[in-house]
Structures are given as C-alpha cells and as structure tokens.
Amino acid sequence: GNARAGGTNLWVLFFAMLIASVGLNVNSTAVIIGAMLISPLMGPIVGMGYGAAVADLRLIRSAGLSLLTFTVLSLFTSTLYFTLSPLNQPGSELLARTSPSLWDVLIAAFGGAAGMVAVTRRSFNNIVPGVAIATALMPPLCTVGFGIAHQRWDMAAGALYLFLINGVFIAASTLAVARVLRLPAVAELDPATRSLHRTVISVGLIAVLAPSIWMGHKLVQDEVFQGAAQRALTQLERSSGTALLGQEIEPRTRTIRLTVVGEAEQARLQAAAAPLLAAERIGDAKLTFRR
C-alpha cells in the first residue's frame, strides 16, 4: 500500500512539475497556482517537522527520503522541459523566484504554522490549499531547472535558496506549533541526543536565515532609493517646467537615466537635479542622459 501510494505521488509530482514549468514558461499565474495545489511536495516537509516534534526518527527518515526523491525528480523534469522548450526568455513569474529575502522567511514560517494548525483541526482543512499556494514550493524548483537548462546560474542559485527557505521554515514552524500543542512523543530521547538535535536545528535555521536578512536589507535600501529618486524627478519636472521624455531608475546600481531633447536641455536639467537629489539624501546617485 505504501509503495503504491509512493509511486502515485511520484507520478502526480511529475505531471505537476510539467504543469508548473509550462505555466512559468508562458508566464501564466493561474497555471502555476493549479500546479501548486496538486503537488505532493509539502507533505514530506511537514512530516519532517512533525517527526522532529514528536521524536519519531523513523518518520523523519521516511519524510527526508521522500523529499530528496521528489526534489531530484522535480529538478530532472523541469530541466528536461526547459531544455526542450523553444521559449527561452525568462518572464516575470520566473524572475520573481530568483531574489528571496527576509519576507519570504516570514511567509514560509507563518504558512507552515497555519498548515500545522489546519492538519490538527478537522474544521480547518480548507486552509491547506491556501498554505500550498502561499509557500510556493514548486515554482522555485522549476526556476532552478530553467537556470540549469540555460546555464543561468544566478537564477538557479536564487531560486534554490528560495526553495531552501520555504522548506526549512515550513518544517521549523511545524515543529514549533507541534511543541506548543504538546503533541505526545513517540519515543523518549536521551539528553545528549536531544541536545544534539537542538544544536543542529538551531545552526541550520541561522545558516538559512542569515543571507535572507542581508538580502532583505538590500531590498529596503532599493525601495528607499526608488522612492527618493521618483520624488526628486517629480520635483525636477515641476521646477524646470520641462516634461521628461523618459526616466529609468536602477536602484541596484544607484543610477537614474533620463531621456531629453538637446544638449542644452541636458545641461540645464543636470544642474537643476543635483540639489534635488542631495535634498532626498541620494546625492551619490549617478545621473545619466539619453538624447
């Protein structure tokens, strides 16, 4: 029975990964959501967290093996699809999975907690589909497959990190909620083993969390720069009496690119923009022009 169920799950995962890969390839949010709902990826992750909470080492091993098998199959399926697909330009749905941050950690943690509460309460079972969508395990793996297929290692690394964040913090929040609910332990662990488990879990959480904090800080900096630059450009248009033909703000390189008519207009706007940028505390921004 278990073998048959495991084989069925593998087939379900295979087709779900193909659906998700097609959805990402054609930039269809609805198709991606459908693939999330039929994917069995979340089960092993929740199983590992639950097993850690109730000291069920057999469940942890079984769930870990299932997760490893599912992950390898998912990567193989998505890489094969994107290698064969003639559509090789990444759309917004693919790119959205390549820059995780601290907010993704919060989503995974809260989603995992909601999912654990749902599985322990019969009346809350309608929450599980929402958790599957919010924590998004399949799209990051598909994006890793795209990165491997097209040698876009930056995309593959970012998406793999997002999958790691989701998996680790869903399991961690499952463990935390199970402990709060005081679910009965399957076996008693000796103090040394319990201490080792706590150390491994703590080190793993810190290792996964640390890069997301730095990336979250960078995201906030980029948003602050974007807002300040936009305010400065709005004021520049008002004070100069000139409508800019085009403007591009690139927070990562702290560059502002303006499209204007004529060399004289460029010189006038450049002189007028300097004090406005300094007033918004982005005086170090690089201002370039396209004529």
pLDDT digits (tens, 9 = 90+) for 21-79: 999 999 998 898 888 888 788 888 988 998 988 888 899 999 999 999 999 999 999 99
pLDDT band at residue 202 under the 50/70/90 scheme: very high
Whether residue 214 has pLDDT greater than 70: yes
Interhelix angle 263-279/191-240, rounded to 10 degrees, is: 130
Please tell me the predicted confidence (pLDDT) of residue 26. Answer: 94
Greater model confidence, 119 or 2:
119
Can you give the pLDDT at residue 35?
A: 85
- Which position has the higher pLDDT, 107 or 129? 107
State mean pLDDT over 91-109: 91
Give residue 251's pLDDT: 93
Q: How far apart (Å, rounded) are the C-alpha atoms in residues 53 and 58?
A: 13
Tell me which residue of 159, 31, 157 sits closest to 95, measured CA to CA: 159
* Percent above pLDDT 70 for the chain: 95
Please compute the mean of the pLDDT values over residues 107-128 and round it to a whole number: 76
Q: Which residues have a Cβ under 8 Å from the Cβ of 30 and sit 6 or more positions away?
A: 23
Tell me which amino acid residue 91 is.
G
Query: What would the mean pLDDT of 72-100 be, rounded to a whole number?
Result: 92
Q: What share of the chain is helix, strand, coil (3-state, %, to 5)?
A: 75, 5, 20
Give the strands of the sheet with 246-250, arranged side by side.
Answer: 246-250, 255-259, 286-290
Is the pLDDT confidence value at 224 over 90?
yes
Is 39 in contact with 67 (CB distance < 8 Å)?
Answer: no
d(CA 230, CA 250): 11
Q: Which residue has the higher pLDDT, 291 or 100?
A: 100
Reported as a single tens digit per residue, the pLDDT across 144-155 is 999 999 999 999
Q: What is the CA radius of gyration of the chain?
A: 24
Which of 44-48, 112-116, 195-199 has the lowest average pLDDT? 112-116
pLDDT level of residue 123 (50, 70, 90 thresholds):
low
On average, the pLDDT of the chain sits at: 88
Q: Is the pLDDT of residue 4 over 70?
A: no
Report which DSSP code applies to 86: S
Q: Which pLDDT does position 124 carry in this prediction?
A: 56
Cβ neighbors of 290 (< 8 A, separation 6 or more) are 246, 257, 258, 259, 260
Tokens describing residue 46: 């929740």
Q: Strand locations in the chain, DSSP E? A: 246-250, 255-259, 286-290
